[in-house]
Structure 1
Amino acid sequence: IPFIFLTARGSARDVTDGKRLGVDDYLIKPFQPEDFLITIQNKLQRTAELRAVGQESLDDARRMLIQMISHELRTPLTYITGGFALLADELEKPSDTTGEHVQATLSLIQNGTQRLNRLAEQMILYVQIISGHVAEQVRILSECWELEYLVNDAVSLHTALQRERGVTFEYFLPEDDVIAIQGVKDLLLTAFSEVIRNAIQYSPEESQIDLIISRDERYGVFSVIDRGKGIAPEDQATIWDVLIQSQRERSEQQGTGMGLPIVKGIITAHGGDVYLYSVPNEGTEVTLQLPLAATSQC
C-alpha cells in the first residue's frame, strides 16, 4: 500500500527524513486537491504494475517447476517401468544370455530410482531452505569442524563416480594450519558434495580437479576447479537461481537446476558466501566461504 506523507513541514531536511522513513511521496501543504488525486492515482498504478510483474515472475517460476518436475520424473520413471517390462520378458523366456540381460536391466532400474530419490531429496531440502528451517538448524545444531575433514568426507561420497570418470584430485592445503568452521555437518557435506559432484560430472574423462582449502581473516575458503566445458557468460549471472540450468547441463540432459541454489542456501544460512568464475571451454571455479569458528568454540 503506498504511503504518502502530508505535512506543512517542507524543509529539505524534513523531506529527507520522511523519505528515510520509507514514504512513497511527500506532499507539502498547501496543495491542490487535483495534485493530491494525481499523486494517489500514480502510486496506485505503480503498485499495480509491480504486483503484475511479481505475479508474472511467480507464474514463470511455477511453469518452470512444472516443466522441471515433468521432465525429471518422466526420465527415471521410464527407466523403472521399461526396466520392469524388459525383466518380465527376460524371465518369461529365459535364454543363455538371461543373466547378463537381467543384470543390465537391474542397473537401469537402479539408475531410475536413484534419480527419483535425488529429486525428492533436493526438493525437500530446498523447501526447508526457503522456509527458514535450515537457518534454524544452523542456529541450534552448529558445531566446530575442521574444513579439511569435511572436504575429505565429501570427496569419499563420490568414489564410484570418480573412478567411472577417471578423474583425479589435486589437493592444495595450508601448511601447519588447521582451519575450523562452525556449522551443521550434514548440511555442509551436502553443499560440498554437490560442488564436487558437479566438477566430476562435467570434467573430461581422465582430467584433474583441484581442491583448494585456504583462509583469510574472517573465512575458511573451499574452492573446486574443474577443466570442463565451462559455463556461458549469459548463464553465470543466474546460475545460483533455482530451476535455472546452465548450457552445459541442458546440453547433457543432466541436473534439475536446484543443485547450486541449494548450495547457496546452505552456505548463506551459515553466514557465508558463494562465488563462481568460469571460462567457456576452459573450466569452472566454484568457491565457498564460511565464517571461521572462534577458538573458544572448538
Structure 2
Amino acid sequence: MYKILVIEDEINIAKNIKQILDLSDYFTIIADDGRTGIELAKEEKPDLILCDVMMPNLDGYQVLMELKKYKIIDTIPFIFLTAKSDRLDFRKGMELGADDYLAKPFSPEELLKAIQIRLKKQAKIKENNNKELRELGLKIQKAFPHELYTPLNGMILSANLLKEYADTMSIEEIKEMAQTLLESSQKLHNISEKFILYLYLEFITNNPHKLNEIRRQNYKCLTKSILLTFAKIQAQKVDRENDLILDLEEMTINMAETDFYKIVTELLDNSFKFSKDGDKIKILTSINDENFCNLFIINEGKGISPKKLKEVENFIPFNQSLDHYEGFGMGLAIVKKILEIYQGSMMIESFANRQTIVHIMLPQG
C-alpha cells in the first residue's frame, strides 16, 4: 500500500482528500501546516507528497526548499495543490523541483490520475535503477577475477618459490623475488583503486538525482596550476621531465578540482606509458568562442592503428580482449565517465608512427 502525505491547512479540503485516497487503498497522513509536514516527511518517508502552496507561516515553496535540504524529495514525487493559476507560480514550483501542479478545485478523478502517473513514473525509475544495478553486479562478477588474476598469479608464484627454495637461494635471488612481489602488489592496488573509482562513477551516471546535484554546482577550477603541478609530477615518476612541453592558457572550468586532477593523471599516465624516452608529450590549453575550454594532450609516440583506436574508444573495462592495452582502457573509461558527469566531451586522433592527440572540451566555470 502506497503511503501519501497531504500537507494542507484547510481542514475540510484535507479531510476530503484523505477520504478519496483512503477509498482508493492509499494510506494517507495529514499535516495541517508546513512545519508539521516537514517533520512527518522525515519520519514517515512517504511514497508521494501533496502540498498546498498558500499556507500561513511556511508556504508550499518553503516546505519544498526545506525538504530539499534533507534530500527527502530526491526520490519522492512532490505535487503542489493550488488555487492560483498564474504561470509564474507554476514555473517557480517546477524550478524548485516539484513534479506536478493540481489546481483547485479538482475532481477525485483528476487527483487520482495525477497521483497514479507520478507513482508509475517513480516505479519505472526504481525498476530501471534495479536493472542497472543487477547488470553492473554481473559485470563485476565476470570482470573482477580476470582483472586481478595477473598480479595475483605473480604474487602467488613468487611466494611459493620463496617458501620452497628460500634456504637455497642467494640474497640477490630473494631480493628479486621480493621485488616481483612488491611490483605485483602495487599493480593489484592500482587496479583495485581504478576499479572502485569506475564503479563509483558508474553509480553517479546512473543516478539522475546525484547527477543533477553535481551539475547544479558552480565549480571554479583553475586549470593552469593543476596542469603545471601534476604534469611535472607524472613526468618525474618516469624520469621524463625533458619530454614535457607545456603551453597553458589560464582557464576556469565547471568541474571539481579532484576530478580534473583524475583526468589529467589518467591521460598523462597513458601518454608516458605508450611512448618512449625522447618522444615529446605536449599539453596545450585554450578557450574557444563557444564558452568551452580546450585541453590537448599530444603524445608523439608510435600512435595507434585505426582498428585499435576504435577498440580503445569503445572499451568497456570488462572486455578481456585488450590485455596488451591494460590500463589504457580502464583509464580512458574513467575519463569518459567524468566527462559525462560534467557534460564535457573527448575526441581522439592518432597517426601511425607520429602522434596521438586527445582533445578534451569542458564548459567554462
| Same-fold call, TM cutoff 0.5 | yes
Deviations 1:74-128 (A, max 9, x none): 2100221122234445643464xx0x33333232112212222222222222222
Residue 276 of structure 1 deviates from its aligned partner by 0.6
| Aligned counterpart, 1:25 | none
Aligned length: 226
User: What SS does structure 1 have at the residue aligned with 2:264?
Assistant: helix
Equivalent residue letter for 2:283 = L
User: What SS does structure 1 have at the residue aligned with 2:254?
Assistant: strand
| Aligned counterpart, 2:158 | 83
- The answer to whether the 8 A contact 2:248-2:285 is kept is yes
User: What SS does structure 2 have at the residue aligned with 1:143?
Assistant: coil
Equivalent residue letter for 1:126 = Y
Deviations 1:11-30 (A, max 9, x none): xxxxxxxxxxxxxxxxxxxx
The answer to whether structure 1 residue 146 and structure 2 residue 222 are counterparts is yes
Runs (5+) with no aligned partner, structure 2: 1-133
- The answer to whether the 8 A contact 1:244-1:258 is kept is yes
The answer to whether structure 1 residue 73 and structure 2 residue 145 are counterparts is no
Q: TM-score, normalised by structure 2?
A: 0.53
| Aligned counterpart, 1:226 | 299
Residue 63 of structure 1 deviates from its aligned partner by 8.1
Structure number with greater CO (CA < 8 Å, separation at least 6) is: 1
User: What SS does structure 2 have at the residue aligned with 1:277?
Assistant: strand
- The answer to whether the 8 A contact 2:348-2:358 is kept is yes
Q: 1:101 to 1:275 in 2, by over 3 A?
A: same
Equivalent residue letter for 2:151 = P
- The answer to whether the 8 A contact 2:232-2:241 is kept is no
- State how 1:45-60 maps to structure 2 within 5 Å: none
| Aligned counterpart, 1:202 | 274
- State how 1:17-166 maps to structure 2 within 5 Å: 66=142, 69-89=144-164, 91-93=166-168, 95=170, 98=171, 100-132=172-204, 135=211, 138-139=214-215, 143-163=219-239
Q: 1:88 to 1:272 in 2, by over 3 A?
A: same
Q: Within 2, Cα distance between the matches of 1:216 and 1:236?
A: 26
Structure index of larger Rg: 2
Equivalent residue letter for 1:168 = D
Q: Within 2, Cα distance between the matches of 1:283 and 1:256?
A: 16
Determine which of 265, 279, 283 is the counterpart of 1:193: 265
Q: 1:256 to 1:198 in 2, by over 3 A?
A: closer
Q: 1:231 to 1:256 in 2, by over 3 A?
A: closer
Q: Within 2, Cα distance between the matches of 1:94 and 1:119?
A: 31
User: What SS does structure 2 have at the residue aligned with 1:214?
Assistant: strand
Q: 1:119 to 1:94 in 2, by over 3 A?
A: closer
Residue 238 of structure 1 deviates from its aligned partner by 4.7
User: What SS does structure 1 have at the residue aligned with 2:313?
Assistant: coil
| Aligned counterpart, 2:316 | 243
Residue 210 of structure 1 deviates from its aligned partner by 0.8
Q: Within 2, Cα distance between the matches of 1:167 and 1:90?
A: 44
Deviations 1:191-246 (A, max 9, x none): 11111011000012222111111111312211111122212223334533342799
Q: TM-score, normalised by structure 1?
A: 0.64
Calculate the aligned-residue CA RMSD, in Å: 3.4
Bigger mean CA deviation after superposition, 125-134 or 227-236: 125-134
Q: 1:167 to 1:117 in 2, by over 3 A?
A: farther
Runs (5+) with no aligned partner, structure 1: 1-57, 294-298
Structure 1 segments, 4+ long, off by >6 Å, are 62-65
Q: 1:241 to 1:122 in 2, by over 3 A?
A: farther
Bigger mean CA deviation after superposition, 281-290 or 70-79: 70-79
Bigger mean CA deviation after superposition, 278-287 or 101-110: 101-110
Residue 283 of structure 1 deviates from its aligned partner by 1.8
- The answer to whether the 8 A contact 1:167-1:207 is kept is no
Q: Within 1, Cα distance between the matches of 2:185 and 2:242?
A: 25
Deviations 1:162-209 (A, max 9, x none): 21x6861011123xxx31112112222111111101100001222211
